[in-house]
Amino acid sequence: MNIHEFQAKRMLEKYGIPVPEFAIVSSMKGLEELLETRGWQSAVLKVQIHAGGRGKAGGVIFAKNRQEILEAGRELLGKKIINEQTGPEGLIAHQLMVSPPIQIMREFYLGMTIDRERSERVLLVSPVGGMDIEQIAHQQPDKVLFLPLPQEGFFRSYHLIRLAKFMEWKGKVAEQGVNIVNALVKAFIDTDASLLEINPLVETTDDEQLSALDVKMVIDDNALFRHPELKSLFDPSQVNLQEARAQEHDLAYVALNGDIGCMVNGAGLAMATMDLIHHFGGHPANFLDVGGGATKEKIAEGFKIILSDPEVKAVLVNIFGGIMNCRTLASGIVDAAKSFKVHVPVVIRLEGTDVEQGKELLKDSGLNLISVDDLTEAAKQVVSMAQKSGA
């Protein structure tokens, strides 16, 4: 689960990591009141969306006076930001972060993540912050230090000495930097984060203090059961409509750009089905894994989510019954089709447990469903139908 920058900053503050002063507004009225109470004469306004690259996408404005601040607020509130990270649909900024400008002397990168290949937690640091870490690693590999976190969950003094030297931190700054690293590690473990990144960590000119200017945090969805306080940070406005609905019903759904809706059980088979559609010249509208043990209700919901996408011109259902038998699948589809007008052709390929009963149910329903036994044949058919109804 992604959380917003301001939520992550508040989290880090609790762990004693200094964060530059900021406020959050979600309306022009709020912005005016804020300027009134704080008396800021200039400010940086930043959209709060679940994506990076906000500056380049026009989501960050430096405003030099009261009028410019208000103009920036009007421009950014409700603005749709589109870049590689947001996907083609973009994300809407419902909240802005407003902060007084600070003078920056140096920028650093600090990030905790999980190295899945080596199955250990790892700290990445760089004395050149402000850029994407992958870019730094690519352009200046000697400016990135990887420090695997010992199993006990904290760094030892010699690790920290090495780190401070690498970052060129001296005196008071070194002391402060080491405290920040220790706090970052603790926050990462405590919150079951899968990514916790401060980029940039800045050293300010006037008081030589380190503070976290931008923070990115991703929490492991599977661990949310033990963090009810984090679960409430979820912002449904930052995910695609169909994806949000699917998530509510515990279905794995990813929106894509094509016109063939897909419903499959199992992630591997779902990807393979997408590949097969592509192979025959079609374009999947989505990835939808209803899971191995789907119920009739989940199937019906999945089917409705697919049909609610206006781009969908034809649907392919590919189910290999294992735990979920084909009868369950068939009755879910029939139920959905009764309560919801099916306006596009639907090709169904069933195999596995109770396949005969499943096919029987579909046939008896009187619905206009095309049942195909062979996987290749099913993919070919759905591609040609999407092309026909698209033309």
Give the one residue of 67, 222, 339, 368 binding other proteins; rule: CB under 8 A. 222
Total residues at interface with other proteins (CB under 8 A): 54
Q: Which of 197, 203, 253, 301 is catalytic?
A: 197
Site string for other proteins, 228-267 (x = CB under 8 A): ------------------------x-x-x-------xxxx
Length of the chain: 391
Which residues 293-352 are close enough to bind other proteins by CB under 8 A? Answer: 293, 320-323, 351-352
Rounded to a whole number of angstroms, the minimum distance from the CB of residue 42 to other proteins is 36
- Starting at the edge strand found earlier in the chain, the sheet holding 260-264 runs 252-255, 286-289, 260-264, 314-321, 346-352, 369-371
Asked whether the CA dihedral 176, 178, 183, 184 is positive or negative, the reply is positive
Q: Which of 5, 107, 109, 301 is catalytic?
A: 109
Give the one residue of 9, 289, 296, 337 binding other proteins; rule: CB under 8 A. 289
Which residues 62-91 are close enough to bind other proteins by CB under 8 A? Answer: 84-85
Whose CA is closest to 299, among 235, 258, 346? 346
Which residues 353-372 are close enough to bind other proteins by CB under 8 A? Answer: 353
Residue 141 near other proteins by CB under 8 A: no
Rounded to a whole number of angstroms, the minimum distance from the CB of residue 277 to other proteins is 8
Within 10 angstroms of residue 105's Cβ, the number of other Cβ atoms is 10
Within 10 angstroms of residue 158's Cβ, the number of other Cβ atoms is 8
Give the one residue of 54, 121, 304, 313 binding other proteins; rule: CB under 8 A. 121
Active-site annotation holds for 109 = yes
For other proteins, which is the closer residue by CB, 45 or 276?
A: 276
Contact 267, 322 (CB under 8 A): no
What single DSSP character describes residue 373?
Answer: S
Active-site annotation holds for 203 = no
Residue 354 three-state SS = coil
Rounded to a whole number of angstroms, the minimum distance from the CB of residue 191 to other proteins is 10
Distances (CA, A) of 59 to 46, 62, 68, 135: 6, 10, 15, 21
Within 10 angstroms of residue 268's Cβ, the number of other Cβ atoms is 9
Residue 195 near other proteins by CB under 8 A: no
Contact 258, 315 (CB under 8 A): no
Query: What residues make contact with other proteins under the rule CB under 8 A?
Result: 84-85, 114, 116-117, 119-121, 134, 151, 189, 192, 194, 220-223, 225-226, 252, 254, 256, 264-279, 284, 287, 289, 292-293, 320-323, 351-353, 374-376, 379
